[in-house]
Amino acid sequence: MRPTVLCFSGLDPSGGAGLQADIEAIGQSGAHAAIACTALTVQNSQQVFSFEATPKALLLAQANAVVGDLPIHVVKSGMLGTTDNIAALAEFLREHPDYAYVLDPVLVANSGGSLGNQETLVKAFVELIPLATLITPNTVELRALTGEQNIDVATQKLFEMGAKAVLVKGGHEDTADYIQNSLYANGELISETQCPRLEGEYHGSGCSLASFIAGRLAQGDALKNAVHHAETWLFGVLKKAEIPVEGGQRIPKRF
């Protein structure tokens, strides 16, 4: 069986983000995706209306059901929704120190809608940061997690908080023509990549990137290779993304 990535992620009915993005991206990376569903959201490509988080015990039961059943190599988390779910994931990871862990620190949807109480989520993420093999914040999340505005200072603060490797995604910065991502390991910059900035807003681009990285790590790629492979793949699927309705965020075409 293909190496498996176990994702802790939420359902997005539009199919752009969340667990569907994870399943499609991990499948495209060559690995198998398993899901412990953290929340059912009510949203479309334009806005988040509400969400209901999975109770902690049920979330852990889902994850534990596939341990020993599937060849899990990597855990990936996206929307966790509640501090209870963050604590559940931390407990699960401590029980399985052999799993690599990709933490996509989702706080709000790209549409701006709430996916949890940002203030309490930020405090709870402190427990997950030292457990992660790689953290993939955009610059909005990086600033929120660290309370620092300057990107370099914020990145160093994340390492002081116990991070091992960080991919800082520059899509929210005001570089008009390009997006720069910076990969750091053990506090040192190890790679910078730039791609042209595509027109429009995308739903589920962060989920897709983190999941593809997790899928490549599960198959044995070194960190830098996994990230570069995922960036190239993501650019391709965003270029052919589909526009659902006028004003809707584009949905990456992952197949």
Q: Which stretch binds ligand PLP (CB under 6 A): 105-113, 118-126, 129-137, 153-161?
A: 105-113
Nearest residue by C-beta to ligand PLP? Answer: 18
Q: State yes or no: residue 41 binds ligand PLP (CB under 6 A).
A: yes
The CA distances from residue 106 to 62, 68, 77, 181, in Å, are 21, 28, 9, 17
Helical residues (DSSP H) of the chain, grouped into ranges:
18-29, 56-66, 83-95, 118-128, 139-146, 151-160, 205-218, 223-239
Structure tokens at 196: 């042209």
Among 10, 170, 215, 248, indicate the residue that binds ligand PLP (CB under 6 A): 10
Q: State yes or no: residue 248 binds ligand PLP (CB under 6 A).
A: no
Q: State yes or no: residue 203 binds ligand PLP (CB under 6 A).
A: yes
Interatomic CA distance for residues 182 and 79, integer angstroms: 22
Q: State yes or no: residue 206 binds ligand PLP (CB under 6 A).
A: yes
Q: Which stretch binds ligand PLP (CB under 6 A): 5-13, 25-33, 93-101, 228-236?
A: 5-13
- Count of residues engaged in binding ligand PLP, rule: CB under 6 A: 18
Interatomic CA distance for residues 122 and 109, integer angstroms: 15
Q: State yes or no: residue 221 binds ligand PLP (CB under 6 A).
A: no
